[in-house]
């Protein structure tokens, strides 16, 4: 064992004919940590994962695991497990046989396999599902089985490629929280790639933001969240708007933040308040089942998205006071 990060990527590039899909990526994952690589579709996430797994040759750089350069080590000798968006279960095998598949390949005895399978099914919340066939499972249950199967051989590293993306939104959120707990309980070191910031925040402790083959920012989630390095990072993290110049100063002042630089705003950073610090005129009112959304024209700051309580009766043209929720505003250095 070595101290420091267990997985290291130094200046890793992957080139397909004509495309530099991964461009000089620098990444580190500590033992037992979960890192989410977050980026839009086509930015190179799957390619990066495949390179770490040894399924894609790298054209430059170095990948080391536990101090060892992986260059000469084929996929099946890396001790890593992969999990995909569609769990890719064996349709003709029961849940127990899917989960125990790799253990049987290792010629583990029947009793030992059964014991380990029950332990894994309990870990993913599917005790008693041993004899079910994949076709009878919901999407969420299938992904839990896929996760149990991936964890069966105690992988040194679990690589997850958009593991929850095929599920509907509410299930995705609850399974994301479970995934975090399961990985934590199992002590698994994991690298997950996703295009969904909520999923990344729910599962991982650290994130790396990737655009066009390059990692542009990485760190603990709270830190990246609090200071996105560029407007496109902010919008990818879920911020609705980036303010610059005088308008940024105005809103920063209202939020009690130091002035200077750009400000990224969550849609709900601005609320309608009894006594407020910004004043504006309601230009548009829309309602979702949860909240009333407003576009408010604030002199000096332009049109800002705000939220109000559903019971507030606001009309277009009305003048309102806004208060700023500083926890939903990020101060950017640029």
> Interface residues with Mg ion (CB under 5 A)?
46
255: nearest Cα among 220, 266, 310: 266
Pick one of Mg ion, ligand ADP, none as the site partner of residue 44 (Cβ within 5 to 8 A by kind). ligand ADP
Structure tokens at 264: 């990224």
In whole angstroms, the minimum distance from the beta carbon of 192 to Mg ion comes to: 12
* Secondary structure (3-state) at 293: strand
Contact yes or no for 6/65 (Cβ under 8 A): yes
Residue count, binding to ligand ADP (CB under 6 A): 11
In whole angstroms, the minimum distance from the beta carbon of 55 to ligand ADP comes to: 10
Residue 55 DSSP code: S
Contact call for residue 86 and ligand ADP (CB under 6 A) = no
Name which of 21 and 296 has its Cβ closer to ligand ADP.
21
Distances, alpha carbon 269 to alpha carbons 89, 226, 306, 308, 326, in Å? 43, 13, 7, 11, 7
In whole angstroms, the minimum distance from the beta carbon of 46 to Mg ion comes to: 3
Name which of 189 and 194 has its Cβ closer to ligand ADP.
194
Question: Looking at 14-22, 228-236, 241-249, 265-273, which segment touches ligand ADP (CB under 6 A)?
Answer: 14-22
49: nearest Cα among 72, 22, 15: 22
- Tokens 């101290």 correspond to what residue? 3
Name which of 45 and 241 has its Cβ closer to Mg ion.
45
In whole angstroms, the minimum distance from the beta carbon of 49 to ligand ADP comes to: 8
In whole angstroms, the minimum distance from the beta carbon of 185 to Mg ion comes to: 27
Give the C-alpha separation, 196 to 207, whole Å: 12
3-state helix, strand, coil in the chain (%, to 5): 30, 30, 35
Pick one of ligand ADP, Mg ion, none as the site partner of residue 43 (Cβ within 5 to 8 A by kind). ligand ADP
Structure tokens at 212: 């066009």
Contact yes or no for 160/190 (Cβ under 8 A): yes
In whole angstroms, the minimum distance from the beta carbon of 167 to ligand ADP comes to: 18
Name which of 19 and 244 has its Cβ closer to ligand ADP.
19
In whole angstroms, the minimum distance from the beta carbon of 14 to ligand ADP comes to: 8
Considering only residues 16-55, where is the footprint of ligand ADP by CB under 6 A? 16, 19, 21, 39, 41-47
Contact yes or no for 37/192 (Cβ under 8 A): yes
Handedness of CA 123, 126, 127, 130 (dihedral sign): negative
| Per-residue mark of binding to ligand ADP, 227-256 (x: CB under 6 A) | ------------------------------
In whole angstroms, the minimum distance from the beta carbon of 45 to Mg ion comes to: 5
- Tokens 């408010």 correspond to what residue? 296
Pick one of Mg ion, ligand ADP, none as the site partner of residue 282 (Cβ within 5 to 8 A by kind). none
Give the C-alpha separation, 253 to 331, whole Å: 12
Pick one of ligand ADP, Mg ion, none as the site partner of residue 38 (Cβ within 5 to 8 A by kind). none
Structure tokens at 219: 């760190």
What are the residues binding ligand ADP (CB under 6 A)? 16, 19, 21, 39, 41-47
């Amino acid at each position: 064992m070595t101290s420091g990060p267990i997985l290291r990527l130094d200046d890793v590039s992957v080139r397909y004919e004509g495309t530099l899909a991964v461009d000089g990526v620098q990444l580190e994952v500590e033992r037992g940590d979960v890192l989410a690589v977050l980026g839009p579709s086509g930015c190179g996430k799957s390619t990066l994962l495949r390179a770490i797994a040894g399924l894609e040759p790298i054209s430059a750089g170095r990948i080391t695991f536990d101090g060892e350069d992986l260059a000469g080590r084929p996929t099946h000798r890396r001790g890593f497990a992969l999990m995909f968006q569609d769990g890719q279960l064996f349709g003709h095998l029961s849940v127990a046989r899917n989960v125990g598949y790799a253990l049987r390949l290792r010629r583990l005895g029947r009793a030992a396999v059964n014991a380990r399978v029950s332990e894994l099914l309990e870990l993913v919340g599917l005790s008693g599902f041993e004899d079910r066939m994949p076709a009878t499972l919901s999407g969420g249950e299938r992904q839990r089985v896929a996760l149990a199967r991936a964890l069966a051989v105690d992988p040194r590293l679990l690589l997850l490629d958009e593991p929850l993306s095929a599920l509907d939104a509410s299930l995705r959120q609850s399974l994301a929280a479970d995934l975090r707990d399961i990985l934590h309980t199992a002590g698994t070191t994991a690298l997950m790639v996703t295009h969904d910031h909520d999923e990344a925040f729910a599962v991982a402790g650290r994130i790396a933001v990737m655009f066009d083959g390059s990692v542009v920012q990485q760190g603990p989630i709270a830190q990246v969240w609090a200071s996105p390095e560029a407007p496109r990072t902010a919008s990818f993290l879920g911020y609705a708007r980036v303010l610059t110049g005088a308008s940024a100063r105005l809103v920063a002042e209202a939020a009690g933040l130091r002035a200077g630089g750009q400000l990224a705003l969550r849609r709900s950073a601005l609320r309608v308040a009894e006594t407020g610090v910004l004043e504006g005129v309601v230009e548009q009112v829309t309602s979702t089942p949860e909240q009333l959304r407003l576009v408010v024209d604030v002199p000096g700051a332009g049109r800002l998205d705000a939220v109000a309580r559903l019971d507030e009766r606001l009309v277009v043209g009305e003048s309102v006071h806004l208060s700023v929720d500083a926890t939903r505003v990020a101060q950017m250095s640029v």
